[in-house]
Amino acid sequence: MTRLTRRSVLKATAAGVLAGILPAAVRAQGADGGSMNIIAFPEPPTLFIGLDQNGSTQTVAGKIYESLLTFDFDFNPQPGLATSWEMSEDGLVYTFNLVQNATWHDGTPFTAHDVVFTCRDFLMEVHPRARVIFGNCETIEALDDHTVRFTLKQPFGPFLMGFEMSTAPMIPAHLYEGTDYRTNPNNDTPVGTGPFKLAEWSRGQFIRLERNPDYHGEGQPHLEELVFPILPDAGARAVALEQGQVQQSQFFDIELFDVPRLAELPHLDLISRGYEFYAPVARIEFNNRVAPFDDVRFRKAVNYALDRQLFADAIFFGLGVPATGPISKRTRFYSDDVTTYDYNLEQAEALLDEMGLTPDGDGVRTTVSFLRLPWGETWARFAEMVQQQLGQIGIRVEIEPSDPASWTQRYANWDFQMTSNYPYQFGDPALGVARFFISSNIRQGVAYSNCTGYSNPQVDALFEKSAHGVTDEERQAAYTEVQQILTDEVPMAWLVEVDFPTLLDTRYEDVIVSAIGTNETYRKAKLAAE
């Protein structure tokens, strides 16, 4: 018995030693050079961003792949692989001039043909969000090697937003054209144009990216390497940050109750900018098909019974503010001219009384179920808070636990009464908000469609009109009206506009520079000169 154990231990150690023989890195000192360790959680299934837009995939692959544009904190487009762009006055023709000296990581030049292939063929085949954008195109053509022209069938307000990295990452045509994208062997060895290249991926342990010496950005990137340790346990992630073994966490990597403590450490900064493109509103979705949620009075009662400030303070630890409607004020086209629901238990109970839902001997008016969102501790607490608050007005809430697969399955198939959710808004209501409310998007079996079953022809028309508006003024008018209708009919309860926390080592600068924050290329990120 002992002999066998010793042998297997030796074998294991030998295998480990072999894996450890790696090229030694040159470490430059000073402003240029240096490395950064960034938490990756969960482990990305793949780094081929074209086929997978998982959160952690974006964080890592966002350094390998690039898109034509990125956006500053106010959503002004900034150059990426495009150096300049213009829109015709009727909003139908967009022309992009591309970077001249960009190459793929295998040395092949990046040209307009790659853009045409990506937007016309690749994304339309595999990417659900990109289909919504490039489906508006009549033609996509290369005018020369470094100029691309998109001609639209009708104006589409958020068109430029579609050129963000996770929506339209540029895919190398010379490796993918004419192949079966999903089984292409290059999917395992990502080839992008970005400032960092994949150097090593030790599954279950870490992903290491190294500087791309041929990057098109002059003198960029500054950092020599990026390492992404895979840390499955929330406690270990907090310890790693606290001890300085990693220098950055993003989104909900750190459980929110740990954030205030870590933010006070002298070597860490708490940054909440850089999530404008996502700007989720934490909300409760009601299944509007089933009683009692089919009655607007019940939905309003629930809205009145939830103390939004308490949710922001106790569940999100101040990392967010009370929401007033479906659109976050961190994104575009928000309006505060809407029906609001201040915490008011009397009003809530009056509405329930009016419905004839009276308390029984135990003070219970009705019992409903709440499908708990499976993405971490925050949502478990969120569910318990809903349970506790609705209990005050006699609505008994039974919490149903779930894991990612079962939650998505039940949500997509309308098999729920209430659930929480915080989908990203993607910089424009036409991309991130309309999908949850328009009747044409009621599609059973598809998660993140209109799963509540809410339907209002007027809302449909307004969303349609605003999506195809050309100027921001006409779009704002339509969106303000939509927000007024939605907050009056409350197919959901919008609770908190979430500010994700980025915890970042104070020695780094120019790290969070755009609306996609930690998913940015990090071409500018560097160690501050000491």
Partner 1 sequence: MTRLVLSVLLRLAKAVGVVLAIVLLNFVLIRLAPGDPASVMAGQAGAADEQFMAQLRAQFGLDKPLPAQAWSYVSGVLQGDLGFSYRQGMPVSELILDRLPATLLLTGTAFAIALIGGVLMGMVAGLNAGRALDFIVSVVSLLFYATPLFWVGLMSILLFSVYLDWLPAFGMTQVGARFTGWEYVVDVARHLVLPATTLGLFYMAVYARMTRASILEVRDMDYVRTARAMGLPRRRMVRSHILRNALLPIITLAGIQAGQLVGGAILTETVFGWPGIGRLAFDALLQRDYQVLLGVFFVTSIMVVVFNMITDLLYRLVDPRIGAAA
Residues within window 338-357 making contact with partner 1, judged by CB under 8 A: none
C-alpha to C-alpha distances, 491 to 20, 290, 331, 342, nearest whole angstrom = 55, 12, 21, 17
Kindly tell me which of 17 and 529 has the beta carbon lying closer to partner 1.
Answer: 17
Q: Does 401 bind partner 1 (CB under 8 A)?
A: no
Residues within window 430-459 making contact with partner 1, judged by CB under 8 A: 435, 443, 445-449
Kindly tell me which of 26 and 86 has the beta carbon lying closer to partner 1.
Answer: 26
Judging by beta carbons within 10 Å of its beta carbon (0-12, 13-18, 19+), is residue 238 exposed, middle or buried? buried
Residues within window 275-314 making contact with partner 1, judged by CB under 8 A: none
Q: Does 45 bind partner 1 (CB under 8 A)?
A: yes
**What's the min distance (Å) between Cβ of 409 and partner 1?**
4
H helices of 319-376, in order, are 345-355
Is the omega angle on the peptide bond into residue 292 within 30 degrees of 0, that is, cis? Answer: yes
H helices of 117-192, in order, are 123-126, 128-134, 173-176
Among residues 28, 32, 33, 46, the one that binds partner 1 under rule CB under 8 A: 46
Q: Does 83 bind partner 1 (CB under 8 A)?
A: no
CA dihedral of residues 178, 184, 186, 188 (deg, nearest 10): 160
Kindly tell me which of 24 and 529 has the beta carbon lying closer to partner 1.
Answer: 24
Among residues 423, 470, 476, 489, the one that binds partner 1 under rule CB under 8 A: 423
Among residues 260, 318, 363, 404, the one that binds partner 1 under rule CB under 8 A: 404
Contacts of 274 (CB under 8 A, 6+ apart): 73, 502, 512, 513, 514, 515, 516, 517, 518, 520
- Structure-token match 């999530």, residue found: 275
Q: Does 43 bind partner 1 (CB under 8 A)?
A: yes
**What's the min distance (Å) between Cβ of 377 and partner 1?**
14
**What's the min distance (Å) between Cβ of 16 and partner 1?**
6
Which of helix, strand or coil describes residue 230?
A: strand
Among residues 100, 245, 309, 367, the one that binds partner 1 under rule CB under 8 A: 245
Binding segment for partner 1 (CB under 8 A), chosen from 266-274, 315-323, 351-359, 404-412, is 404-412
Q: Fill in the amino acid letter for 504.
A: L
Residues within window 96-155 making contact with partner 1, judged by CB under 8 A: 126-129, 131
Residues touching partner 1: how many (CB under 8 A)? 78
Tokens matching residue 144: 């020369």
Q: Does 242 bind partner 1 (CB under 8 A)?
A: yes
Contacts of 486 (CB under 8 A, 6+ apart): 325, 326, 437, 459
Kindly tell me which of 51 and 310 has the beta carbon lying closer to partner 1.
Answer: 51
Among residues 204, 356, 361, 457, the one that binds partner 1 under rule CB under 8 A: 204
Q: Fill in the amino acid letter for 349.
A: E
Q: Does 257 bind partner 1 (CB under 8 A)?
A: no
Kindly tell me which of 23 and 213 has the beta carbon lying closer to partner 1.
Answer: 23
Kindly tell me which of 30 and 232 has the beta carbon lying closer to partner 1.
Answer: 232
Q: Fill in the amino acid letter for 238.
A: A
**What's the min distance (Å) between Cβ of 365 and partner 1?**
30
**Pairing relationship of beta strands 137-144 and 93-98 according to DSSP bridges:** unpaired
Binding segment for partner 1 (CB under 8 A), chosen from 66-74, 80-88, 200-208, 391-399, is 200-208
Give CA 348 to chain center in angstroms: 34
Handedness of CA 283, 286, 288, 292 (dihedral sign): negative
Residues within window 211-230 making contact with partner 1, judged by CB under 8 A: 225, 227, 229-230
